[in-house]
Amino acid sequence: MTDDHKPVTEIDLHAYVDGFLDEQRRREVELWLKDHPEEDAEIRQWHAQATELKAAFSSYARPGENDGKLVSKADPARMSSTLWRQTALIAASLILFLSGTAAGIYGERLLSQPAPAENSATFESLPGQSKTAFLVYASEKRHPVEVGADQEEHLVTWLGKRLDYKLVAPDLKGLGFSLVGGRLLPVNGKAGAMLMYQDTAGQRLTVLLGKNPQNGETSFRFESTGSLETFYWIDGAIGYAVTGEVSRAKLQQIAEECYRQFET
Amino acid sequence: MPHGPDPNARAKGGNPPSADTFENQILSLVPSLRRYSRSLAKSDSDGEDLLQDCVEKVLVRRGQWRGVNLRAWAFTIMTNLYRDRHRRIVQHPSVELDDTLGLTAEDVSGDPLEKTRLHNALNALSADHRSVLMLVVIEGYGYQDVADMLVIPIGTVMSRLSRARRQMAAHLAENNIVTLRRPK
């Protein structure tokens, strides 16, 4: 069956990733991949994907508290739960409709309510918000910040209070950047903070801090848009993003330094 | 390849087994059905809804079970339910009230940004591609098993798997994001 010259097919590549090949075929595919770097790179991606997917969902394979009820046919209320949910959906639409009417009457008050969405999906926009803040404020000549570096202590106490977090303004002098100051600004619809730094040539960079609704920890990420580089991460209750028009390597150093000094 | 606890369970004389046996068998399958439903759904609550619908349907249709591989049979029912729901949602997107990317207590230990990215990539897949990918990668079914379960040719399984993997890879690469080691 296993002929040395048997060509490696796409099915072989999938089966290789999914662990369905026998030992000999697996070795043949491995040898073949050494001469096919493009396919090899793709296989690595598929492997990484599979690992990520398993990590994301494996914890769900567990019994739930109400599984017994779910399976016991004796409960007629549960058997009609699909119907019940449909009714609930209709009821919910009705409520939405009615609240729409109410919005017409009490529009202003309702519209001023903050958005309820509080999950990590909103944090995906952190680098976007950081870039916007940089673009808006870093080019500002007269009022780039609300409170200047001459009042650093007041600045960090004030912004820290709004963020409910012991804020420090990282000292980046070792990397050639000194604090310009900071300002309060909305991040994800809540009070957030921006710190601004500049080097002797007037090149600026901003550090954005926003509240993270879910505690969590992430690795560092970067995103580039044109010449703008942004590094961002979440550490516990706060999400951070550093944006500047500097090289990625330089900005990474700066982000790492910020990360080190923000640590409490 | 794991194939559930009782692939050879067979009802004697073609009759469905006693209620107790059948329900207990389903109960033992619920954890893996929960994992599969969550891997297809957009949120935890959506996943639990799908699981509940599936268990209901399995119980209602118990007479149709041919007594072989209950797990695969339940997975087929789940896949069909998911496809139907997906179609409904695409046609009437406003119906889905709980379409949130829920990060519940058990999720926070990981990397929330990474999870968001992964879920966005998954949500961009079609129902057919996503179910094949999950059956193979998460549930460990072989390609022929998937073809049998979904009553499609094995070639279709392979092309859906390829498409799903390539689309995921493209979507994940699109963000121009690279994970770096923390300087701790």
User: What does the H/E/C string look like for chain B?
Assistant: CCCCCCCCCCCHHHCCCCHHHHHHHHHHHHHHHHHHHHHHCCCHHHHHHHHHHHHHHHHHCHHHCCCCCHHHHHHHHHHHHHHHHHHHHHHCHHHCCCCCCCCCHHHCCCCHHHHHHHHHHHHCCCHHHHHHHHHHHCCCCCHHHHHHHHCCCHHHHHHHHHHHHHHHHHHHHHCCCCCECCCC
Whether A14 has its CB under 8 Å from any CB of chain B: the answer is yes
**CB atoms B133 and A56 under 8 Å:** no
Q: What is the mean pLDDT of chain B?
A: 78
Range 51-80 of A in CB contact (< 8 A) with B: 52-64, 67-68, 70-73, 78-79
CA distance A48 to B173: 12
User: Is the entire prediction scored with pTM above 0.80?
Assistant: no
Does residue A51 sit in the same domain as residue A158?
Answer: no
ipTM value, please give it.
Answer: 0.77
The answer to the question of residue A141 being in a domain is yes
Single-letter code of the amino acid located at B85: R
Does residue A45 sit in the same domain as residue A157?
Answer: no
Quick check: A143 pLDDT over 50?
yes
Give residue B162's domain range.
Answer: 12-174
- Which residue from B31, B38, B114 is facing A63, i.e. has the nearest CB? B31
Q: What is the structure's pLDDT at B20?
A: 58
CA distance A55 to B178: 19
Into how many domains does chain B fold? 1
The answer to the question of residue A93 being in a domain is no
Q: In chain B, which residues have their Cβ closer than 8 Å to the Cβ of A92? A: 97
Nearest residue to B88 via CA among B127, B56, B47, B59: B127
The answer to the question of residue B106 being in a domain is yes
Whether A94 has its CB under 8 Å from any CB of chain B: the answer is no
Quick check: A83 pLDDT over 60?
no
The answer to the question of residue B20 being in a domain is yes
- For residue A23, give every residue at least 6 positions away whose Cβ sits within 8 Å of its Cβ, in sequence order, or none: none
Give residue A43's domain range.
Answer: 10-55
Q: Which of A100-109, A167-176, B105-114 tops mean pLDDT?
A: A167-176
The answer to the question of residue B94 being in a domain is yes
Q: In chain A, which residues have their Cβ closer than 8 Å to the Cβ of B176? A: 222-224
Nearest CA-CA distance, residue B13 and chain A, Å: 24
pLDDT in tens, B89-107: 666 544 333 333 333 333 4
Q: Which of A42-46, A106-110, B96-100 tops mean pLDDT?
A: A42-46
Q: How confident is the model at residue B9 (pLDDT cuts 50, 70, 90)?
A: very low
Which of A16-20, B131-135, B145-149, B169-173 is least confident? B169-173
CA distance A228 to A131: 8
Does residue A131 sit in the same domain as residue A209?
Answer: yes
Q: In chain A, which residues have their Cβ closer than 8 Å to the Cβ of B183? A: 256, 259-260
Does residue A51 sit in the same domain as residue A125?
Answer: no
Range 191-220 of A in CB contact (< 8 A) with B: 212, 214-220
- Which residue from B55, B137, B142 is facing A71, i.e. has the nearest CB? B55
The answer to the question of residue A207 being in a domain is yes
The answer to the question of residue B180 being in a domain is no
The alpha carbon torsion through A25, A26, A31, A37 (nearest 10 deg) reads: 120
CA distance A12 to A20: 9
Into how many domains does chain A fold? 2
Q: How confident is the model at residue A109 (pLDDT cuts 50, 70, 90)?
A: very low
Quick check: B149 pLDDT over 60?
yes
Structure-block tokens of residue A30: 């491995």
- For residue B140, give every residue at least 6 positions away whose Cβ sits within 8 Å of its Cβ, in sequence order, or none: B1, B2
Q: In chain A, which residues have their Cβ closer than 8 Å to the Cβ of B168? A: 49
Q: Answer yes or no: are the C-beta atoms of B102 and B43 closer than 8 Å.
A: yes
CATH number where B128 lies: 1.20.140.160
> Which of A36, A55, A74 corresponds to the end of one domain?
A55
The answer to the question of residue A81 being in a domain is no
CATH number where A134 lies: 3.30.200.100
For tokens 């921006």, what's the residue?
A194
**CB atoms B39 and A57 under 8 Å:** yes
The answer to the question of residue B111 being in a domain is yes
Mutate to test the interface with A, among B29, B30, B97, B168 (most CBs of A within 10 A): B30
